[in-house]
């Protein structure tokens, strides 16, 4: 499966005093990439909430900080679907600079009702998410 690609640049506000990306900002980069991945599949998260009363929440993140990104770097965040459960989505996300891996994460999302209870992925949403696997 071809990963979804999201391009971003490292701004001064993303860095610490040494000009290196502050570790928590990698989570922001991959969050933006997940939002764009879902949108690229034709899923409107606001409509999903309004129509079905469900939202996505991060349940778990396993992260490896491999090399530092620096002020001015052009980055690519790749997102790949690893698995789908009843209410769970597992993604691999990589942050790359010129093909070099800087950060790698496995992110587990859960589908929740607005009250915070687990909810099964609606069949139409499941089909859109699983589409690239076939």
- Give the residue numbers annotated as catalytic, written as ranges: 16
For residue 26 the two structure tokens come to 């990698």
Q: Which of 33, 14, 9, 32 is nearest to 24 (CA)?
A: 14
For residue 33 the two structure tokens come to 């990439």
Do 52 and 109 touch, CB atoms closer than 8 A?
A: no
Residue 39 host element (H or E):
helix 23-40
The sign of the CA dihedral 26, 31, 36, 37 is positive
């Amino acid at each position: 499966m071809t990963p979804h690609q999201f391009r971003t640049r490292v701004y001064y506000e993303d860095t610490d005093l040494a000009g290196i990306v502050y570790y928590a900002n990698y989570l922001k980069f991959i969050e933006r990439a997940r939002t764009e991945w879902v949108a690229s599949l034709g899923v409107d998260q606001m409509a999903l909430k309004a129509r079905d009363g469900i939202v996505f929440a991060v349940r778990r993140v396993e992260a490896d900080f491999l090399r530092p990104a620096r002020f001015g770097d052009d980055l690519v965040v790749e997102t790949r679907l690893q698995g789908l459960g009843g209410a769970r989505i597992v993604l691999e996300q990589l942050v790359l600079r010129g093909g070099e891996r800087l950060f790698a994460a496995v992110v587990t999302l859960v589908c929740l009702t607005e009250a915070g209870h687990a909810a099964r992925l609606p069949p139409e949403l499941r089909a859109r998410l699983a589409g690239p696997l076939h």
